[in-house]
């Protein structure tokens, strides 16, 4: 099937909806952690961070991300049209999340600089980096997998260089936004 034909985006849009739900869940997690911290810093008693809420929101975000990934695979196999414009917007919406996330983990790391907790510092860095990278993967992987599947299908006069750079950049912090832009531009050129 020629890529330039008009096609539906059903599964790809459903994928983006689940990724958006995952993003909303991660923002809820930040609110659920940062908001009680404010009261804990004031020394108010009775306020605590609910560990069940933290674990439940992380698991829920992972489930939403996996569903979004599976739907993107189905969209690629069905040769649907990409929803890369939506991905770009989602990446820009995630910028405040990553800023707050960095500040939150830096604050937690500072809390481990106590002589009795210094041993926990490497664990905090590894856990914080791993959870943050999961969010990057959750927002990047559906487009990457979709692109890899669709790249194996026929293109007319399409350079793969921009697609490849978009895929590579999607796996790194900060450059994932540039990768989303490159993929969007590459798919737009392919449609022209």
Question: Rounded to whole angstroms, how far apart are CA atoms 166 and 145?
Answer: 12
Helix (H) or strand (E) holding 9: none
- The residue assigned the tokens 């993003």 is 23
Q: Residues 135-164: pLDDT tens digits?
A: 898 889 898 988 888 887 655 556 788 888
Q: Has this prediction a pTM greater than 0.85?
A: no
Q: What is the CA radius of gyration of the chain?
A: 19
DSSP, collapsed to helix, strand or coil, labels residue 77 as helix
Q: Residues 69-79: pLDDT tens digits?
A: 999 989 888 88
pLDDT at residue 43, rounded to an integer: 65
Distances (CA, A) of 186 to 95, 176, 191: 23, 15, 9
DSSP, collapsed to helix, strand or coil, labels residue 17 as helix
């Amino acid at each position: 099937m020629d890529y330039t034909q008009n096609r539906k985006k059903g599964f790809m849009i459903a994928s983006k909806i689940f990724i958006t739900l995952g993003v909303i869940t991660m923002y809820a997690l930040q609110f659920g952690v940062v908001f009680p911290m404010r009261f804990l810093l004031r020394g108010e008693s009775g306020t605590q961070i609910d560990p069940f809420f933290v674990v439940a929101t992380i698991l829920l975000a992972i489930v939403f991300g996996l569903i979004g990934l599976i739907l993107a695979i189905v969209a690629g196999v069905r040769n649907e049209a990409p929803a890369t414009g939506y991905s770009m917007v989602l990446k820009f919406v995630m910028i405040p999340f990553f800023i707050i996330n960095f500040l939150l983990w830096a604050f937690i790391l500072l809390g481990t600089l106590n002589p009795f907790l210094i041993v926990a510092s490497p664990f905090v860095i590894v856990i914080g980096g791993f959870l943050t990278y999961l969010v990057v993967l959750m927002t990047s992987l559906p487009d990457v997998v979709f692109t890899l599947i669709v790249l194996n299908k026929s293109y007319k006069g399409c350079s793969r260089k921009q697609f490849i750079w978009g895929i590579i950049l999607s796996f790194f912090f900060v450059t994932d936004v540039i990768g989303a832009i490159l993929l969007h531009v590459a798919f737009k050129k392919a449609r022209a």
